[in-house]
Amino acid sequence: MAATMALPARASAGSRLRRFLFSQEGILLIAIIVLFVAVGAYNQRFLSANNLSTIFLGNAYIAVAAIGMSMVIVSGNIDVSVGSLIGVLATISGTIAVSGWPLWLAWTLPILAGMAISAVSGWLIAYLRVPSIVVTLGMLSILKGGLISVTAGAWINNLPQGYHLAQLRPLGVPMAVWFMIVLTALAAFWMRYSGFGRSIYAVGGNAEAARLAGIDRARTVFIVFVIHGFFAGIAAVLFATQLSVIQSTVPPNLELTVITASVVGGVSILGGTGTVIGSTLAAILIAAIGSSLVFINVSPYWLRAVQGLLILLTVLADLARRRKRARHR
Amino acid sequence: MTSVPPLLRLDGIVKSFPGVRALRGVSFDVRPGEVHALLGENGAGKSTLIKVMSGVHRPDEGRVEVDGRPVDFGSPQEAQAAGIAAIYQELLLFPELSVAENVFMGHAPRLSWGGIDWDQTRARTAEILQSLDIHDLDPDTPVGALSVGNRQRVEIAKALSMNARVLIMDEPTAALTEADVERLFGIVRRLRERGVGIIYISHRLVEIFDLADRVTVLRDGEYVGTHEVRDVTEPQLISMMVGRTIDQLYPHRTANPGKVVLEAKSVAYPGTVEEASLTLRAGEIVGLAGLVGSGRSELAQILFGVTPASAGQILVDGQPVTIRSPADAKRLGIAYVPEDRGTQGLIRPMRIRHNVSLAVLKELARFFFIDRGREQELARRDIERFKIRASSMDQVVGKLSGGNQQKVVLAKWLATRPRILILDEPTRGIDVGAKAEIHKIMSELAAQGMAVLMISSELPEVLGMSDRVLVMREGRIVAGFDRAEATQERIAAAMMRSAQQERAA
């Protein structure tokens, strides 16, 4: 027993590459590349700058919303109201813009509103210990019902010049895509290297052990929901400013698409594991699949079924990995 | 020799789990109409043995016979079909369902078209309860509304509804009031008269002398012996349980206790701890012995703020302190290695490196971000110091063996540089090598001046490691021994002495 052990403190570069390729993020990246190459070979127009820009511009907000969602799920919770929240916040943004207030308020107030609304859910979940599925299911109905009652489904037209933030193209790349990349990078860094990020994983991985280690479970969950509201707010502003009109309804099944991105991205629905890089890659993959269906002449209505298939595949892969782990113990 | 073959006979049973040999050649039998007690310390293998009997575990080696014919149970259902039923400590009932529904769960009488015959279900439940002389239980009451004693009667009725001929009872009196214990004994005797074979597991020697016909003792997974109860005495049974060999494994150390660092004065928590007082000095290891349910773990949880004390006072360095949460305790220099590392100690999906730094994230952080260099240094040092066997510091802790997981939990808490260390069953379920390493670390820590409070169900460990031994029973600290005066017999006697004996004495 006293013999010294040769213990590699960190894995070598080669094994780290191998580990990346077999990680959820690696698999998604490979899947995206394979998809672009294969569909591009079948139909060159799929790879045209125009189409790529449409794919990314139209879906970047989903990736942004999935960042916050991933944090919520890693903490051991869920938010099924995020679609309605984005609908409400987009309408708030458009209403501010057409009412003649400064544009920067139309871009920032929805974010604050998102944080405030999400803080209410977070407070109920963290401090009153109401299960998140119940709280956010209630919030979903309140937001959806409230939105339809107030706007009567009217579209917001005549949006002022310069309002369309998402469509700006610094360096030729749509602003929405910049947001997606920068926010994903910042959030990934924050989750991985900050003390708070670590405590999100700890609370989601084992709330009781985290509490014994002196981590405040309730505070952590509450702050996660506030941050989630922040990302939902940005997602809403990107959503509102990418089209010429705002429909002031909730995009159908948006919450499911966002949750799908998180889960397919490798965030365990049980909490405790997953990364926002994974969820962003998954959002890109889902968007690209949706677009490619058109190019290979498959009805886009199949997208929903393909998303479902992706979830099941991810869960099966996760199960297989867990089984393997269990056998090794 | 009896002419009838025993109802159930086990011969040379061996059962191993990864890292532990739980049973090493155990034999046991139960005859019709007898109460056969199974006795042993925690970890002696009693639970594993009854799980083999009831079909939960399949033995690695050895024979199981029912009515003299060999059987091989693949599941609890198969054992039940052979007439063997078990009542575990944690009652497995559905609180929302009625007594009758629980009794006939899974085998309710059917109507001709396959639906459940509710009239029959109720009538047969009432019949079984009558036969047990239980007249105050309505088959329609939801089980959740019943007292613990009544729930246990429902479990017994459930076993009888399956025509059990062998009934295994795992510490049935652990949670019962004295009146309920009396009624339970009445029921057990009635079953014995009917020819049911009863396997009765208990720590309480008084009960064994009261109720059992024969007694079998296990120790460390080994068969020690079987005796007619009328032929043995209490001290004989205790010495069979604890064995004679004082372990040579424990590191020798001369205690050099310093000043009192932790003092608890009459602390209490409703239902578990009543007025417990203790003092803990720098540089000493105090062993806290007691049966499961005596309030040992609960006392530790009070001291660490997991369940803050409802009464009493805690002093650290002679100053009164309030400990309302683990975070408070951590600030005061207290560390706690919990009993159940899986649910309370580890974040299983996280890496070793992230687990060992969890309690010191604030200290490791520069502004908001964790100083990775310092975190890695901490993890590397701990892996070396504790000889944690892992492929790298980035290995997920869920993949480690029990002993290595326990070392990770210990490392996490020692990273907070505590002055007071509370360990709850620090070596339960881990292999001998890791156990010795943890004992060595404990001795080193005490030598460096740390105050250590160790809860353990293993008396050799308590004796081998402690400078002082405290014994808890029924939520109170009832005895204290210095190292010189502590013996297994004295500690065991203090642990098990019943309340009546105390009053008589």
CA distances to B6, B28, B192 from B1, rounded to whole Å, are 11, 15, 20
Select from B347, B353, B376 the residue whose CB has the most chain A CBs within 10 Å, as the one to mutate to test that interface. Answer: B347
Mutate to test the interface with B, among A212, A275, A322 (most CBs of B within 10 A): A212
Asked if B214 has any chain A CB less than 8 Å from its own CB, the reply is no
Give SS3 for B25. Answer: strand
Q: How far is B413 from chain A (nearest CA, A)?
A: 8
Q: Shortest Cα distance from B181 to chain A (angstroms)?
A: 35
Q: Contact, B131 vs B156, CB < 8 A?
A: no
Please indicate whether, in this complex, the C-beta atoms of A9 and B392 are within 8 angstroms of each other: yes
What is the percent of chain B with per-residue pLDDT over 70, rounded to a whole number?
A: 94
pLDDT single digits (tens) A148-177:
888 887 888 888 888 888 888 888 888 999
Instruction: Name every chain B residue with its beta carbon within 8 A of the beta carbon of A20.
Output: none
| Domains defined along chain B, listed by start | 8-242 (3.40.50.300), 248-333+418-505 (3.40.50.300), 342-417 (no CATH)
Position B235 scores a pLDDT of 76
Comparing CB atoms, the residue among A5, A194, A199 nearest residue B369 is: A194
Contact across the interface for B399 and A9, Cβ inside 8 Å: no
- Chains A–B, number of C-beta pairs less than 8 Å apart: 107
Say yes or no for a CB contact (<8 Å) between A11 and B392: yes
Contacts of A107 (CB under 8 A, 6+ apart): A93, A165, A237, A241
pLDDT of residue B402: 79
Q: Which residue of A has its CA nearest to B307?
A: A212
3-state secondary structure of A206: coil
Residue A326, φ and ψ in degrees, nearest 5:
-60, -40
Read off the pLDDT of each residue in B428-447 and give the average, rounded to a whole number: 82
- Cα–Cα distance between A82 and A249 in angstroms, integer? 13
For residue B426, give the amino acid letter.
P
Interchain contact A8–B (C-beta under 8 A): yes
Residue with tokens 């009546």: B500
Measured over the CA atoms of residue A99, residue A101, residue A105 and residue A109, the dihedral's sign is: negative
Residues 279-338 of B with CB under 8 A from A: 304, 306, 325-327, 330, 336, 338
Q: Cβ contact (<8 Å) for A7 and B383?
A: yes
Contacts of B393 in chain A (CB under 8 A): 9-10
pLDDT at B498 over 60: no
In this prediction, residue B233 carries a pLDDT of: 85
Closest residue in B to A202 (Cα–Cα): B347
Which H or E run includes B142?
none
Q: Starting at the edge strand that comes first in sequence, how are the strands of the sheet with B214-219 ordered? A: B84-87, B166-170, B197-201, B35-39, B214-219, B222-228
Q: Which of B89, B84, B75, B76 is nearest to B28 (CA)?
A: B84
Strand segments (E) across B18-145? 20-30, 35-39, 61-66, 69-71, 84-87
Q: Are strands B319-321 and B273-281 parallel, antiparallel or unpaired?
A: unpaired
Kindly report the nearest CA distance between residue B106 and chain A, in angstroms: 30
pLDDT in tens, B57-76: 999 999 999 998 999 998 88
pLDDT in tens, A229-246: 999 999 999 999 988 888
Residue B110 host element (H or E): none
**What is residue B424's predicted lDDT score, i.e. its pLDDT?**
93
pLDDT category at B305 given cuts 50, 70, 90 is: very high
**Is the pLDDT reported for residue B136 higher than 60?**
yes
Q: Which candidate from A199, A208, A268 shows the least CB-CB separation from B361?
A: A199
The average pLDDT across B481-505 equals 74
A312 touches chain B (CB under 8 A): no
CB B152 within 8 Å of CB B172: yes
Given CB atoms, is B20 within the 8 Å cutoff of chain A?
A: no
Q: Quickly list H helices, B14-86.
A: 46-53, 76-81
CA atoms within 13 A on the CB side of B8: 29
The fraction of chain B above a pLDDT of 90, given in percent, is: 43
Q: What is the CA radius of gyration of chain A?
A: 21
B370 touches chain A (CB under 8 A): yes
**The pLDDT of residue A295:** 85
A9: contact with B, CB 8 A cutoff: yes
Q: Are B346 and A206 inside 8 Å of each other by CB?
A: yes
CA distance B160 to chain A (A): 37
Dihedral angle, C-alpha B98, B103, B105, B111, nearest 10 °: -90
Categorise residue B319: left if φ over 0, alpha if ψ from -120 to 50, beta otherwise. beta
Show residues of chain B in contact with A196, CB under 8 Å: 368
Chain B partners within 8 Å of A1 (Cβ): 387, 433, 436-437
β-sheet with B69-71: strand ranges across: B20-30, B8-17, B61-66, B69-71
Q: Give the pair of three-digit tokens for residue B62.
A: 């050895």
Q: Which residues of B touch A210 (CB under 8 A)?
A: 347, 358
A216 in reach of chain B (CB within 8 A):
yes
- Interface residue A186 vs chain B (CB under 8 A): no
pLDDT of B54 > 80? The answer is yes
Instruction: Tally Cβ neighbours within 10 Å of residue B394.
Output: 18
Q: Does A215 touch chain B (CB under 8 A)?
A: yes
CATH for A47-322, options being 1.10.3470, 1.10.12, 3.40.190, 3.40.50: 1.10.3470
Interface of B with A in 383-412 (CB under 8 A): 383-384, 387, 389-394, 396, 398-401, 412
B361 touches chain A (CB under 8 A): yes
Q: Which amino acid, one-letter code, is at A81?
A: S
* Interface residue A23 vs chain B (CB under 8 A): no
A193 touches chain B (CB under 8 A): yes
**A14: contact with B, CB 8 A cutoff:** no
B71 touching A (Cβ < 8 Å): no
Cβ <8 Å between A198 and B358: yes
Which chain A residues are Cβ-neighbours of B399 within 8 angstroms?
A: 325, 328-329
- DSSP letter for B342, please: I
CB atoms B336 and A215 under 8 Å: no
- Give the closest of A194, A272, A325 to B347, CB-based: A272
Instruction: Chunk chain A into consecutive blocks of 10 residues (it has 329) and report each block's average pLDDT, rounded to whole numbers.
Output: 42 70 83 90 87 88 96 95 94 90 92 97 95 95 90 83 84 90 95 91 92 91 97 95 82 88 89 91 91 84 84 80 57
Enumerate the residues of chain A whose CB falls inside 8 A of the CB of residue B348: 205-206, 272
Q: Output the pLDDT for position A50.
A: 85
Please state the ipTM of this predicted complex: 0.78
Lowest mean pLDDT across A276-280, B1-5, B23-27, B334-338? B1-5
Among all residues of chain B, which has the CA nearest to that of A9? B392
When mean pLDDT is compared across A218-227, B124-133, B318-327, B393-402, the lowest value belongs to B393-402
Residue A1 confidence (pLDDT): 34
Query: Looking at residue A8, what is its pLDDT?
Result: 47
C-alpha B263/C-alpha B323 separation (Å) is: 13
How large is the average pLDDT for residues B409-414? 93
CB contact under 8 A, A9 and B376: yes
| CB burial of residue A295 (10 Å; 0-12, 13-18, 19+) | middle
Q: In chain A, which residue ranges form alpha helices assigned H by DSSP?
A: 13-22, 24-42, 49-74, 82-98, 103-126, 132-151, 175-193, 195-205, 207-212, 217-240, 254-264, 276-295, 302-328
Q: Let me know: does B176 contact B149? Beta carbons within 8 Å.
A: yes
pLDDT reading at B193 higher than 90: yes
Among the partner residues A7, A9, A206, nearest to B347 by beta-carbon distance:
A206
Q: B-chain residues within 8 Å CB-CB of A206?
A: 343-344, 346-348
- CA torsion sign for B293, B299, B301, B302 is positive
Tell me the C-alpha to C-alpha distance, in Å, between residue B425 and each of A14, B136, B296, B311, B448: 41, 41, 10, 26, 22
Cross-chain residue pair B338–A214, CB shorter than 8 Å: no
Q: Is A201 in contact with B344 (Cβ distance < 8 A)? A: no
- The residue among B396, B388, B389, B455 whose CA lies nearest residue B428 is B455
Q: Nearest chain B residue to A212 by CA: give it.
A: B326
Mean pLDDT of B174-200: 87
Rounded to a whole number of angstroms, the distance from the CA of A321 to the nearest CA of chain B is 12
Q: Find where tokens 């052979």 sit.
A: B82
- Decide if A195 touches B, using CB distance below 8 A: yes
Interface of A with B in 246-305 (CB under 8 A): 268, 272-273
